[in-house]
Structure 1
Amino acid sequence: MSPSLSIATTVSPASLAGTLVSNSKNVLCSLHWKNNDATKTNRNLKFRVCSVSGGYNTSVENVPFPRDYVELISQAKEAVELAMKDEKQLMEIEFPTSGLASVPGDGEGATEMTGSINMIREFCDRLLAPEKARTTRIFFPEANEVKFAQNTVFGGTYFKLDYLTKPSLFEDFGFFERVKMADRVKPEDELFLVAYPYFNVNEMLVVEELYKEAVVNTERKLIIFNGELDRIRSGYYPKFFYPKLAALTKTLLPKMETVYYIHNFKGQKGGVLFRCYPGPWQVLRRTRNKYICVHQQESMPSLKEVALDILASA
């Protein structure tokens, strides 16, 4: 018996048209939208809800790939709000800042970090009421980044800006002094946001300390923003030389909910791994004016699996 299919969609005028085709193994989504100019207004998320019965049973909520960074920030904000309602305490947001189709390294390192700072400010303004700024502590990799943020996009705000590490006398050799998190956190803090903790390998170890000492057994929330955690997941850092960092794949990362994620794959068989909480992980094939969902699943696939198995055979 062929599977039956029911679809419920919410579509904004002249912005989204979609078709969905299903077989017993995969749900194939084709999303198309017109090229509208970005506006500085909040957009409601358009959820696509599909239920398939028969040989393949699933219930999914799909969010379309963002048209621009305005829509991306709106989607990320909605995803975090939903995750917080589900009592998620440790969350990850990851997306490229040099363009929605870019990959890490496409832009110069300092430029990508500056892009993240701007996105963090926009995200915080969307997510938080003004009075919550005083109870939000944003951790940057080190003190110089805090000064830069204070002198640029965070100047004149009430957000608490802090840092994870501080330079030592051996900074030129890659050594930094860790900051004891218990000394940085204040009783009134409610939300921690950690900005791009990948410049130094010690930064994520400090993030783990922050989570253990200031988040566990509290009502606080912690968001890691563009931490390039795929480096740790994929074994980029050899376990022999970085055993503590490798251990995070068994201690910290399993506790984390990746609420918003974009990773691009270039080449002839390129595509995108995309997730917006609470929806599934989607592998999208990019064409000129639309994205086609060629695979989706509930758990995060490895980047190797997406590149060599899913996209290669799509």
Structure 2
Amino acid sequence: MAVASSLSTLPIFTPLLARASFSATPSFSRSPFMRHKSIPVLPCISICSDRVFRDFQLLAAMETGATAQSDAEARAGVAVYKPASYDVLISDAVRSLCYALDENKSRLEIDFPPLPSSISGYKGSSDEFIDANIQLVLALIRKLHEKRGISSRVVFPDKPEKKRATRVFKSTLELVNGVSFGSLDDIPGDGGKSFLKSLQSALDLDFSNEEEVKWQNEGNPALYFFVGCSTSELPAVETYVNTFAAEVPVVLFNLELDTLRADLGLFGFPSKDLHYRFLSQFLPVFYIRTREYSKTIAAAPFVVDYTGALFRMYPGPWQVMLKQGDGSYVCVAESSDRFSLGQTKEELLAALGLQEEKGSTMDFLRRGYKNTTWWEDDVEKEESMSWRS
């Protein structure tokens, strides 16, 4: 029997979260999953409570886009997450962003899959990935302006990218208020830019046109969004922030920072100090990192495929979410501090009843000697803990 079909027939259970009291040290809490010794099956849990009723009310609200929450509910996180559309995703991101701005947070990150597929900035068509992110950030800016009247500036890696976005999204821009475009080329001098960008400035090449000038930098925005930047452009992002947005909130929008961090320190890329000094300042306010896993077991179907996500909707806690057959994500663990990628996988295995006995040979062979990344380990070198909180 195909694994995908077997997982799709798993019973949808009533979500029930055991909330933990958070302290300065990481404290994980898990939902009351029953563990099966051989085949991972999530049983139906027939428990009725006010909490469960509220969770299903919230799920219904998310599916209709009406996701009004009290402050206490927002800080408690969600038991089930199943947005009906990208419009709902953007609305949730705006809500989380507003919470952070109200708390005077100024270095922020928003990261979620911009396309309903495995395509990312490093797979498939990069133009498709970039265009999806531009469309999404413009939708977010429109909602943010309607909600708070905040003016925003979208910052692109260079002038050609800005020019292309102006041309491709001309009709969309006519409908969005409070938005302007900028680029890393606006930094005085070379600003840490690449040789080609420095050459462009030296030759005084001007790629602007009348339409682009219409969306040029005008006035001082209240919020900056950076889109489409690669690892090699992160030093220029830091310089831009220090130059133009030292006292203004900044959002790194769908830059896939965990992927970019992996290149830091490699030959030809910025040093790891960029994370310790700069990237560690950015608080994830809306974060969905999905991953697909496989696990070999000793009984049919022998190979189990499962999907999970590391999830955060500020001011709620960090949550490990397990994908169900109906496409919803259900919380199986949560913490006040960020889960490492290895911890996320461990919590998913524990929820499915597939975790080997602690300290056993099989546990060591599967986990290996090290299952964390350098940026997850180097706590003492970081100038800020915001990216973990």
User: Given the two structures, how large is their TM-score scaled by the length of structure 1?
Assistant: 0.73
8 Å contact 1:136–1:193 — kept in the other structure? Answer: yes
What is the Cα deviation at residue 129 of structure 1?
4.0
Q: What CA distance in whole angstroms lies between the structure 1 residues aligned with 2:163 and 2:235?
A: 23
Partner of 2:316: 279
8 Å contact 2:114–2:254 — kept in the other structure? Answer: no
What is the Cα deviation at residue 313 of structure 1?
3.1
The number of aligned residues is 269
Q: Map residues 16-95 of structure 1 onto 2, 5 A cutoff.
A: 19-22=15-18, 26-28=29-31, 43-46=66-69, 60-63=75-78, 64-65=80-81, 66-95=83-112
Q: What CA distance in whole angstroms lies between the structure 2 residues aligned with 1:87 and 1:37?
A: 27
SS of the counterpart of 1:197? coil
Q: Map residues 1-314 of structure 1 onto 2, 5 A cutoff.
A: 19-22=15-18, 26-28=29-31, 43-46=66-69, 60-63=75-78, 64-65=80-81, 66-99=83-116, 102=118, 104=120, 105=122, 107-129=124-146, 135-153=151-169, 154-156=172-174, 159-165=179-185, 175-177=195-197, 188-198=220-230, 201-216=231-246, 218=247, 220-233=248-261, 236-237=262-263, 239-241=265-267, 244-267=270-293, 268-289=305-326, 290-307=328-345, 309-314=346-351
What is the Cα deviation at residue 297 of structure 1?
1.0
* Ranges in structure 2 where 5+ consecutive residues have no aligned partner: 1-12, 21-27, 33-51, 187-193, 202-215, 294-304, 352-389
Q: What CA distance in whole angstroms lies between the structure 2 residues aligned with 1:272 and 1:160?
A: 33
Structure with the greater alpha carbon radius of gyration:
2
What is the Cα deviation at residue 292 of structure 1?
2.1
RMSD: 3.5
Partner of 2:10: none
Distance 1:36 1:210, change over 3 A: same
Q: What CA distance in whole angstroms lies between the structure 1 residues aligned with 2:289 and 2:266?
A: 27
SS of the counterpart of 2:286? strand
8 Å contact 2:311–2:318 — kept in the other structure? Answer: yes
What is the Cα deviation at residue 205 of structure 1?
1.0
Q: What CA distance in whole angstroms lies between the structure 1 residues aligned with 2:16 and 2:276?
A: 37
SS of the counterpart of 2:161? helix
Partner of 2:302: none
8 Å contact 1:77–1:123 — kept in the other structure? Answer: yes
Which structure shows the bigger proportion of residues in helix conformation? 2
Q: What CA distance in whole angstroms lies between the structure 1 residues aligned with 2:108 and 2:282?
A: 5
Deviation string, structure 1 residues 99-130 (Cα, Å, up to 9, x no partner): 1x646356522111111111011101000149
SS of the counterpart of 1:292? strand
Deviation string, structure 1 residues 148-188 (Cα, Å, up to 9, x no partner): 2212325435622111249xxxxxxx8542699xxx97762
SS of the counterpart of 2:339? coil
Q: What CA distance in whole angstroms lies between the structure 1 residues aligned with 2:118 and 2:56?
A: 20
Q: What CA distance in whole angstroms lies between the structure 2 residues aligned with 1:273 and 1:76?
A: 15
RCO comparison, higher one (Cα < 8 Å, 6+) = 2
Q: What CA distance in whole angstroms lies between the structure 1 residues aligned with 2:69 and 2:123?
A: 30
Taking every aligned residue pair, what percent have the same amino acid on both sides? 23
Q: What CA distance in whole angstroms lies between the structure 1 residues aligned with 2:60 and 2:148?
A: 36
Amino acid in structure 1 at the alignment position of 2:76? E
Q: What CA distance in whole angstroms lies between the structure 2 residues aligned with 1:237 and 1:106?
A: 16
User: Given the two structures, how large is their TM-score scaled by the length of structure 2?
Assistant: 0.60
Distance 1:239 1:276, change over 3 A: same
Bigger Cα displacement from structure 2, 143-152 vs 67-76: 143-152
SS of the counterpart of 2:164? helix
